[in-house]
Amino acid sequence: MRARYPREKDSSPMTSVDHDDKHAIGHRLRSIRKSQKMTLTDVAKLTGVSISTLSKIENVQVSPSFDIIKRICDGLDIAIEDMMGQPEAATPAAPVMSGRKTTTLNGSGARFTCGQYDYVAHATELFRKGMVPLEIFVRARSADEFDHWSSHNGEEFVFVLSGEIEIHTDLYAPFRLASGESAYFDSSMSHIYLSVGDEDARVLSVSYDPRPQQAQISDYMHATTRPVTDEAEFADFGSRDQA
């Protein structure tokens, strides 16, 4: 399912790039678009990002969020580091030998908000990972709250840590998972998670996307998110009031 044209709230910040990266992304987006002889309308159709937002990014009028950058890179099938205008050597490559290890202690994950989910990213110290492990707080109760559904190459595993979720896909009827239950599915299906009941469900999501550029997504998270170090703040992060 191709993402629909989103509403203009595309440009609202979730996790934004800094001043220098904003200029690099704007210039790179314009250069890539022109090299492929595409109009802003063409890019909007491929990425699901509005023409207005794309124009503002190219003219360095906004700092695009992580979600917007990911959607642009996915739609144009380019690496995040290419969009950032960084040389290949800018991101350390994983060592050839195996045996890599990292730990994410309680409250030390990097957090960010994207759409209807609050995230805590784990294992951000490792670059070029094959999997992206995320702790997700699901705030949405209705599919109508989503402008677009998630879809990416590869596979995804979700385990419910607390609460209850309902998973919607474009191929299967909605189904529910309670605490302690899990699902494993083809993530190229469009999909969303909804919380069931008053409690914001908390889930562990581990996804794998075989495309080379996806290994850089968690690297980008590490550079643009901040760790949660205060226990009270972490508790509040997972139990927001529903507006």
Same domain, 59 and 151: no
Q: Which CATH number does the domain housing residue 74 bear?
A: 1.10.260.40
Same domain, 74 and 20: yes
Average pLDDT of the residues of the chain: 76
Q: Which CATH number does the domain housing residue 151 bear?
A: 2.60.120.10
Write down the pLDDT at residue 220: 52
Same domain, 131 and 220: yes
Express each pLDDT in 57-88 by its tens digit.
Answer: 888 888 777 778 888 888 888 776 666 654 44
Query: What is the reported pTM?
Result: 0.58
Residue 45 belongs to some domain of the structure: yes
Structural domain range at position 83: 13-90
Same domain, 178 and 147: yes
Express each pLDDT in 196-219 by its tens digit.
Answer: 999 999 999 999 877 655 555 555
Q: How many domains does the chain have?
A: 2
Residue 125 belongs to some domain of the structure: yes
Write down the pLDDT at residue 100: 80
Same domain, 120 and 185: yes
Residue 4 belongs to some domain of the structure: no
3-state secondary structure the chain: CCCCCCCHHHHCCCCECCHHHHHHHHHHHHHHHHHCCCCHHHHHHHHCCCHHHHHHHHCCCCCCEHHHHHHHHHHHCCCHHHHHCCCHHHCCCCCCCCCCCCCCCCCCCEEEEECCEEEEECCCCCCCCCEEEEEEEECCCCHHHCCCCECCCCEEEEEEEECEEEEEECCCCCEEEECCCEEEEECCCCEEEEECCCCCEEEEEEEECCCHHHHHHHHHHHHHCEECCCHHHHHHHCCCCCC
